[in-house]
Structure 1
Amino acid sequence: MPPSQSAARPGRPLPTGPTGLGTSAARITGPLRTPAPPTATRTAPGAPARGRGAGVPELYCPPHLRDDAALGEEVNERLVRWAEEVGIYAGRLEKFRQADFGRLLMLTHPDTDDPDRLLAAARCMAAEFAVDDYFCDEAAAGDHPERLGPQLMLAQSAIDPAQLPGGARARYERAMAGQPVWNALRRSVADLAGYASGSQINRLRQEIAGLFLGMDAEAGWRIGGSPPPVWEYLANRQMNSFLPCMALVDAVGGYELPADVYGRPDVRRATLEAALASVLLNDVYSMHKEGGAQGVEYNLPTVIAAEEGCSLQEALRRSADLHNELVHSFEASAAEITLTADPVLTRYLGGLWAWLGGNKEWHASSPRYNQS
């Protein structure tokens, strides 16, 4: 299927978004079902977190636009079957199902109700999470962190296949097919080609390369055995973020933001602000999840606490403040851009805004971050 406007799913009404105070900036409107551009005055803090996330400080974030349980469940069940097919999370598929990545995709991409498009993006996201859960968690536990670099290099090779001569290629192909995470990465990008252009896929490859570079840097900190300064951690988190997932908002929505526009300095700034905000929210929610793990742990609250000598609760509050500052900054950047933007760029910025709201709702409720 070419990367053009996706067809509506038969029998499911098109989403139109919520109504009421604080929702107009994110409402889906118009013939392209486009989220209206963010503005600096049209937002509201997200709903209070549920479960163990109830202790999370207030996070300034747009509301999520929809919560279609049936669509999320359909994508999630199909994603679990795919994970079993490619070999990731063997023996842990029920826990993987409970994380509910299908719901995350449903929440973060409200401008399509096509489960095939959502599944294509969900496969990419699951493969990227598997890199973290397999390779990075192994390094975090102190199990040969120096091996992480070669593992990530081959993970990148899985999505941008090496063109090797002779017998080396046969060995390479066997290795790619035999390692579940590499296999999942390769398959997910290949499957995405039915919904994304070559330019959009190349964009994804580049953003994933940055993600893996950030993951590798963290292994360097672990080998050194001490936390980085806050500024260095934040620079790293800019790369080690949800940026590869957010880079697919146009492909999932069924349109394409031209490469030269995606790379424009003002658009890049807004994209990176949103991406960093999304992952700092993850840091706040995942602090509890990671707190009992072995080895040296790195998330923004623990890095702030180490540098400033404050309590973890105070560091958590300061982390939320940094997240909120970034969301406000993204609002202002996007509002300025949309004064002269065409409909495609406006839709893209609205898609980032909607992604932030859906990401917040998923973190607040997913068992991945809210175990009782």
Structure 2
Amino acid sequence: MPDAADDWSALLRGITIDIPFPTACHPGVAEAEARGRQWAEQHGLVRSDEARTRLHRGRFGQLAGRAYPAAGAALFQTTVDLMMWLFTDDDDYVDRTTPQAARTVPTIASAVNVLDRVRGDGIAPPFEAAFEDICGWLREQLTAEQFARFANGIRLALLAAPVQNYRRAAAQPLTLSEYEVIRRYLGGCPPCFALIDAANGDALPAAEYEHPDLQRLALHANNVVCWTNDIYSLAMERSQPGQFWNMPLVYAAHGCTPAQALARTAERVHREIASFAELAARVTPCGSTAQQRYVQGLGTWIRGLYDWTVNDTARYAPHYDPKGAST
């Protein structure tokens, strides 16, 4: 690991990510976020004042608004609640926990049971009941095929968490290729991307959704979202014990200086953006309207995550104090 004296925060101020996609936001964000916070409280997802502060400062509804700007009211509210649930899961069972935490795997298993319609044993009542709400709503709002895509993405995200936690406990740092595979699914992009066509009012048939070009575009978008997040969350993550595997720190663990690690990560993000834009320019003129709107939705997700990170949320403030202001 790099020395704690390395001034990553100062280096981060020199990093700029150029996103060539337009900004958009759902008009109903404020109301949906308020309802989402109330829903999270009612389900017991907010278990302390610290967690409540994280929820409010995170502005997760704003992320949903930037990611799904054209969604109908009902589906949009569900995406807001989903963001609340995903980030609560991330905080309580993935990031702000130890690799050996006994609650992590049982809680993940309970969520998978919800997807599989298997009655669990009540090991994580608030977390499980809240997810039952979300899945019930999505089953009503999506086609069976759309829900299956979402469910598969959630399963992969949940099951990547114990793999990451296991590797945290190992003395040997992750290789870059290991990290990229885990991050691809732990970042939660596949289930979120699976909602794009429904949020657009479309239903992509399997032949289009599974087309290699669309899957390649989704992979480029996934990499951009996750690796951009790695850059902007780095200062906060370094302050949390055990939470130190992101792309710049993997580079640093294998001999890069902090400046080199950040520069390489930013360069890779820009290469992925360029690859996405180039492939999208070739694919979209030939595709159906739904396919074109899906590709546009991937670009909206890239832009939305960036705008939320740099303009909206306080989640990644370098010296985040959950009981007060960040500096």
Q: Scaled by the length of structure 1, what TM-score is found? A: 0.76
How far has the Cα of 1:63 moved from its partner? 4.3
- Residue type of the partner of 2:79? A
Measured in 2, the distance between the counterparts of 1:117 and 1:56 equals 38
Taking only aligned residues, the RMSD between alpha carbons, in angstroms, comes to: 2.3
Q: Secondary structure in 2 aligned to 1:357? A: helix
Q: Secondary structure in 2 aligned to 1:231? A: helix
Measured in 2, the distance between the counterparts of 1:52 and 1:315 equals 14
Runs of 5+ consecutive residues of structure 1 not aligned to the other structure: 1-50, 163-168
Match of 2:16 in 1: 58
Are 1:123 and 2:123 counterparts? no
Q: Secondary structure in 2 aligned to 1:281? A: helix
- Structure 1 residues 104 and 52: CA distance shift in structure 2, 3 A: farther
Runs of 5+ consecutive residues of structure 2 not aligned to the other structure: 1-8, 318-325
Measured in 2, the distance between the counterparts of 1:305 and 1:196 equals 43
Deviations 1:141-164 (A, max 9, x none): 35x2475344322222222221xx
Which one of 209, 213, 219 corresponds to residue 266 of structure 1? 213
Are 1:159 and 2:115 counterparts? yes
How far has the Cα of 1:277 moved from its partner? 1.2
Match of 1:39 in 2: none
Which one of 26, 39, 48 corresponds to residue 82 of structure 1? 39
**Contact 1:200/1:256, CA 8 A, preserved across alignment:** yes
- Structure 1 residues 218 and 276: CA distance shift in structure 2, 3 A: same
**Contact 1:108/1:354, CA 8 A, preserved across alignment:** yes
Measured in 1, the distance between the counterparts of 2:10 and 2:35 equals 28
Equivalent positions of 1:90-109 (< 5 A) are 90-91=47-48, 92-109=51-68
Q: Secondary structure in 2 aligned to 1:224? A: coil
**Contact 1:121/1:192, CA 8 A, preserved across alignment:** no
Are 1:215 and 2:161 counterparts? yes
Measured in 2, the distance between the counterparts of 1:296 and 1:356 equals 24
- Residue type of the partner of 1:117? L
How far has the Cα of 1:67 moved from its partner? 4.7
**Contact 2:12/2:231, CA 8 A, preserved across alignment:** no
- Structure 1 residues 191 and 325: CA distance shift in structure 2, 3 A: same
**Contact 2:96/2:243, CA 8 A, preserved across alignment:** no
Match of 2:203 in 1: 256
Measured in 2, the distance between the counterparts of 1:296 and 1:350 equals 33
**Contact 2:200/2:293, CA 8 A, preserved across alignment:** no
How far has the Cα of 1:362 moved from its partner? 0.2
Equivalent positions of 1:1-372 (< 5 A) are 55=13, 57-67=15-25, 71-91=28-48, 92-112=51-71, 114-139=72-97, 141-142=98-99, 144-145=100-101, 148-162=104-118, 169=119, 172=120, 175=122, 179-241=125-187, 242-295=189-242, 297-307=244-254, 309-365=255-311, 366-370=313-317, 371-372=326-327
- Residue type of the partner of 1:71? G
Deviations 1:292-322 (A, max 9, x none): 1112511111101011x12223211211111
- Structure 1 residues 102 and 296: CA distance shift in structure 2, 3 A: closer
Q: Secondary structure in 2 aligned to 1:151? A: helix
**Contact 1:146/1:219, CA 8 A, preserved across alignment:** no
- Structure 1 residues 269 and 64: CA distance shift in structure 2, 3 A: same
How far has the Cα of 1:117 moved from its partner? 2.3
How far has the Cα of 1:197 moved from its partner? 1.4
- How many corresponding residue pairs? 307
Measured in 2, the distance between the counterparts of 1:266 and 1:67 equals 27
**Contact 2:220/2:272, CA 8 A, preserved across alignment:** yes
Q: Secondary structure in 1 aligned to 2:253? A: helix
Q: Secondary structure in 1 aligned to 2:293? A: helix
Measured in 2, the distance between the counterparts of 1:78 and 1:255 equals 26
Measured in 2, the distance between the counterparts of 1:97 and 1:314 equals 34
Measured in 1, the distance between the counterparts of 2:293 and 2:34 equals 29
**Contact 1:304/1:315, CA 8 A, preserved across alignment:** yes
- Structure 1 residues 211 and 192: CA distance shift in structure 2, 3 A: same
Q: Secondary structure in 2 aligned to 1:269? A: helix
- Residue type of the partner of 1:161? R
Match of 1:30 in 2: none
Q: Secondary structure in 2 aligned to 1:283? A: helix
Match of 1:46 in 2: none
**Contact 1:204/1:244, CA 8 A, preserved across alignment:** yes
Measured in 1, the distance between the counterparts of 2:206 and 2:46 equals 34
**Contact 1:270/1:330, CA 8 A, preserved across alignment:** yes
Deviations 1:221-240 (A, max 9, x none): 12213321112111221222
**Contact 2:237/2:243, CA 8 A, preserved across alignment:** no
4+ residue segments displaced more than 6 Å: 51-54
Q: Scaled by the length of structure 2, what TM-score is found? A: 0.86
